[in-house]
Amino acid sequence: MNRTASAFLLVAVLTGLLVALGFALQIKGYGFGSLGSDRLDGLASAATFVPLAALYAFTAMLVTILPIRAAAMMHANGTTPIYLTAVVLFATIVGVQVTRMAFGNAGALWALVDWQFVFAAGIVVAHLSLDALRRNVLLRTLAFIGFAAATLACLYWTFRF
């Protein structure tokens, strides 16, 4: 958890600094200042986390069912990079929006209220509890079923209400 929080804060601060640089260039009258801010803003959106959650749920499903060596390889090379990608993308979004708020856009933080950020939180919670889910057969079976359902839901359900 400490590693997740420190990575999140570092990426959010670095993103905020880059967006602040872009805003400072815009204020000085340089047109290319908005280009960098727009690129960071367009990097990730809440909708990005739905397919990312499907990938994570699929790899976590494999971690719960595979033998210990194969599961360890899948955990190290599959679930952890996807988890870190979700943390970095969410930190980028938070850094951009907080910097926008700091530069006078009072409604910038409302972009963080999107319900699709639940998928980012789901990835973090699932990753932090993945070791506990492999400890006994009942939890492993329930986790396999839950991750299979999450994979299919993220891939084939539209999530439009």
* The pLDDT value given to residue 40: 84
Q: Which tops the pLDDT comparison, 41 or 21?
A: 21
Mean pLDDT taken over the chain: 91
- The pLDDT score that the predictor gives to residue 46 is 85
Q: What is the pLDDT of residues 59-79, one digit of tens each?
A: 999 999 999 999 999 999 999
| Mean pLDDT across 83-107 | 93
Any idea which residue has 């850094």 for tokens? 95
CA 71 to chain centre: 22
* pLDDT for 161: 63
Separation of alpha carbons 7 and 2, rounded Å: 9
Interior angle at CA 160, CA 157 and CA 161, nearest 5 = 125
pLDDT band at 140 (very low <50, low <70, confident <90, very high): very high
Tokens representing residue 28 in the block: 């000085």
**Which tokens in the block code for residue 65?**
């069912």
Q: What string of DSSP letters covers 81-145? A: HHHHHHHHHHHHHHHHHHHHHHTT-TTGGGGGG-GGGHHHHHHHHHHHHHHHHTSSHHHHHHHHH
pLDDT tens sequence across 7-37: 999 999 999 999 999 999 988 888 888 888 8
pTM of the model: 0.89
% of the chain surpassing 70 pLDDT: 99
12-16, 131-135, 151-155: which range is least confident on average? Answer: 131-135
The candidate with the shortest Cα–Cα distance to 9, out of 81, 95, 83, 97, is 95
